[in-house]
Chains A and B, each alone.
Chain A
Amino acid sequence: AQSVTQLGSHVSVSEGALVLLRCNYSSSVPPYLFWYVQYPNQGLQLLLKYTSAATLVKGINGFEAEFKKSETSFHLTKPSAHMSDAAEYFCAVSGTYGNKLVFGAGTILRVKS
């Protein structure tokens, strides 16, 4: 069985500040991990994914995430927040033998000017 926990349903940062969105996973098989972003009234768009190659994964829009097996974490970071980063972010996990994703509850990021 797999599950994802996103710590903090809402995160607020100032423009230019570091963005850190937390994701912890549980998986009985080696996981693949994903971060998606959802802008208002839109579907989900892939930011980045970990598929057992490099543990530090770079994605679109300046985001990156690091897979830490010992901590079962896959936190999403961006050095400097931009107003356009305001959205909802979802972490998801899939097993190495399946096609299904299990999503976290989501974190809404607010960027203050």
Chain B
Amino acid sequence: DVKVTQSSRYLVKRTGEKVFLECVQDMDHENMFWYRQDPGLGLRLIYFSYDVKMKEKGDIPEGYSVSREKKERFSLILESASTNQTSMYLCASKGGRVTDTQYFGPGTRLTVL
């Protein structure tokens, strides 16, 4: 079974702090994704990576950056957290074929005070 793990289920940070969200997958997938989930808006893509050190902006990259130094790990960074970044963050990974399934982690609920 594919396993996608996220470093924290719940996180509380203060405005202005630098925040790291970590995601690890164990299936040697080429593609990894970070989404933000808000009620009534579904999932919105922040960034994705199709290979080590490669990244592309999604639909809402502002205020976020990412890092992929190893194939199995994809990090989301909030350089200076703001209250409007309070949300559920979901990581996913996917193999190289277009028809492959995206597998999701359990999510990190981030609250910025």
Contacts and interface: CB of A to CB of B under 8 A. Distances in A.
Contacts of B42: 4, 90, 103-106
A96 interface: yes
B38 to A, nearest CB: 10
B26 to A, nearest CB: 15
Contacts of B4: 43
Range for the number of chain B residues in contact with chain A? 20 to 34
B50 interface: yes
Interface residues of A, number: 26
Given A42-B107, A44-B104, A45-B104, A100 B48 contact: yes
Interface in B57-113: 58, 90, 92, 94, 98-99, 101-107
A99 interface: yes
Given A42-B106, A43-B105, A94-B98, A105 B90 contact: no
